[in-house]
Amino acid sequence: MLDTAVARSATIAGELVMHTNTASDLLQEVRARLRRARRVFVLTGAGVSAESGVPTFRGGGNAAVWKGMPFSLISSAEMLERDLPAVWEWFDYRRDALKDLQPNPAHHALAKMQDNLDSFALGTQNIDDLHTRAGSRGVLELHGNIWRARCTRCQARIDLRTADEGERPPACRTCGAPMRPDVVLFGEMLPAGVFERAAAAAMRCDLCFVVGTSALVYPAMQLPEIALQAGAYIVEINPEQTPFSDRCHATLQGRAGEVLKAVTSDG
């Protein structure tokens, strides 16, 4: 189940935290923390959707280059200015790759976690909508949603699953201006209010999970840092070490679906 026990001692916020136990002991510790937790905040990244078949961006995922262009260029504000149809083509390609994929046990476990808690917030860097499809409510979509488009002029939005007439770029039905994918591109700010709501939840939580993210992209990664500073117990779930691993109280090394299922199981 869990690949490796992470035995570590770390000084976190001035407190010496010792984990010299097995993967199974660490899992039990995290399960006990979850049972006692009053407010939970979760940050997810591409690794959560990996078991659904969504490629990750880094570390062997294949979403990093498209038609010879690095992801950071085709998904950039600069490209939106220069070539909006190319940006649409790229996101149409990604939507097409996503359309038949289903939520996996990691998404379902997080939806179940929410069902059992009075205070729960989930911030995701993913734009695939799989958390919501698994039943998570109020998902804070830090990087937007690939199934939505928004007007470049007036903020009107459409759901591309139900209102896509195939025109590229679609013309806004309110003001006629071209629409764009409602996702955050490199060089852009996060959607107004979403980061702030996530930061407020991170500040208040007593238990924070950081799942399936390389921990490289800011400001999303500020969220677990805020939780850490505020005194929360931080659990990372990832098959690989990340730059944030050494700052977590517990690292459960393994695939998100398996680990989260174990963390949230009733037995």
Q: Closest separation between CB of residue 140 and ligand OAD, Å?
A: 13
Q: How far is the CB of 24 from ligand OAD (least distance, A)?
A: 19
- Which residues are registered as beta bridge partners of 8? 19
Span from 11-19, 77-85, 156-164, 210-218 in contact with ligand OAD (CB under 6 A): 210-218
Q: How many CB atoms lie within 10 A of CB 62?
A: 9
Contact 198, 142 (CB under 8 A): yes
- Give the one residue of 30, 151, 172, 184 binding ligand OAD; rule: CB under 6 A: 184
Q: Where are the beta strands (DSSP E) in the chain?
A: 8-12, 15-19, 39-44, 65-66, 69-70, 119-124, 140-141, 144-151, 157-159, 179-183, 207-211, 233-237, 250-252
User: Taking CB under 6 A as the rule, which mask of x and - marks residues 14-43 in contact with ligand OAD?
Assistant: ------------------------------
* Run of H or E residues at 83: none
212 binds ligand OAD per the rule CB under 6 A: yes
Q: Give Cα 49 to chain centroid, integer Å.
A: 9
Tell whether residue 239 is a contact of ligand OAD (CB under 6 A): yes
Catalytic residue at 19? no
Q: Should residue 61 be labelled a site residue for ligand OAD when binding is judged by CB under 6 A?
A: yes
User: CB 108 → ligand OAD: shortest distance, Å?
Assistant: 14
> Which candidate in 19, 107, 131, 143 is catalytic?
143
- Taking CB under 6 A as the rule, which mask of x and - marks residues 246-265 in contact with ligand OAD? ---------xx---------
Question: What is the closest distance, in whole angstroms, from the C-beta atom of residue 252 to ligand OAD in the complex?
Answer: 10
Residue 49 as a binder of ligand OAD (CB under 6 A): the answer is: no
DSSP assignment of 208-260: EEEES--S-STTTTHHHHHHHHTT-EEEEE-SS--TTGGGSSEEEBS-HHHHH
Sign of CA dihedral 210, 214, 220, 224: positive
- Per CB under 6 A, residues contacting ligand OAD are 45-47, 50-51, 56-59, 61, 75, 125, 143, 184, 212-214, 216-217, 238-240, 242, 255-256
Active site members? 143
